[in-house]
Amino acid sequence: MKCSKSVSSIIIALLFSFGLHCVGFAANVVDIENEEYMIKLTRWERLPPYDDRKFTFSVHHKLTQQDSIIEMENMTTEIGEIKIVKDRLVIFGDVSNAAWGVTILDLKRHKEIDFIICYRPQLSETKRYLIYEKFYPRFSPEEASDLILIYDLEQSPEDNRVEEKYKNIREKSKRVGDPGYLIASENVGYPIYPEENIAKQTYFVWVPSPEERHFILTRGKYLWLDQDNKILFVDGYGGENWLVLVDLSKGLSKMTIKKKIIDVASVLTLDPKTPDYETLLKEEKERFAVSELRPRKDGRIDIHLSRERKYRVTAMTIDLPSE
């Protein structure tokens, strides 16, 4: 990947003066600012012997006119996007093409405070929450099902780990590749789905039966409602598509879940009198995928369904799950 032409010649010169290589940072990654901070990526380097990476950012605080440097050193191999969230910098990156890495930097303390290895991370509308799917090591059992987690950016790294054994393990690691560091980076956040993980407050997600596995169909496309007090997505479970509503209004430790089956049969032209109706209906359900969720002014939800190997999109409207 070539460097973006919008990267300033000064930064390019600085990179090469240190004998480093450009890895294709986009302009919005190299330079970002808001009313309080102006942040620039100034250099990156490989750290032998483990090929770890270190990224250096310059931070200018506009209100105090103070300048500082923050170093980010973890398993991130390439940066994709960065966001300023109050006094924290949230960095989305790639981890060796195997997963996403999300780094959280404290702009007041000038240090990296947390690192998350996950799949499909997304900031909420207000930027308070980070939602993602749990990362599985390469040789995990096939029986593992999806586990959805939320990280509260207004809380400390320790408070974002529900199992006590993972709370302080990062501080004990001597380098970012240590087993303890990896475990703490994989087991982080509040479980919000499925219900079993909430009840047991655990990151363990192995289930023995295919019918019991959860598969989030709206991959990385969560719909946030009511100023981030509610989140909506679709789960494939037990041969059905479920619209899932998680209510966070009372806090992540007191969340509630409501869900309802999406009646895909209502948008199909199958005749219920057909002898093989149930078999055909099952096959048709498996061919449909939820491509988008859209809120309506009347409080209902529009669901866009795309059919496998066809460009035609079918839309249906559904009420939010209730008691």
Domain coverage including residue 6: 1-109
Please tell me the predicted confidence (pLDDT) of residue 4: 40
pLDDT at 15 over 60: no
Is 240 part of a structural domain of the chain? no
Please tell me the predicted confidence (pLDDT) of residue 264: 77
Please tell me the predicted confidence (pLDDT) of residue 323: 62
pTM to 2 decimal places? 0.83
pLDDT at 265 over 80: no
pLDDT category of residue 176 using cuts at 50, 70 and 90: low
| Of 37-46, 59-68, 108-117, 139-148, minimum mean pLDDT range | 139-148
Is 17 part of a structural domain of the chain? yes
Is 281 part of a structural domain of the chain? no
pLDDT at 24 over 50: no
Is 71 part of a structural domain of the chain? yes
Torsion of CA 237, 269, 291, 151, to 10 degrees: -30
Over residues 215-251, the pLDDT tens digits come to 787 766 899 999 999 999 998 888 788 899 999 999 9
Is 246 part of a structural domain of the chain? no
Instruction: Please list the alpha-helical segments (H only) found in the chain.
Output: 9-17, 27-30, 179-186, 195-200, 277-287
Is 40 part of a structural domain of the chain? yes
Please tell me the predicted confidence (pLDDT) of residue 221: 80
Please tell me the predicted confidence (pLDDT) of residue 1: 38
pLDDT at 183 over 80: yes
Is 27 part of a structural domain of the chain? yes
Is 128 part of a structural domain of the chain? no
Stretch 156-181: mean pLDDT: 78
Share of the chain above pLDDT 90, in %: 49
How many folded domains does the chain comprise?
Answer: 1
Please tell me the predicted confidence (pLDDT) of residue 3: 41
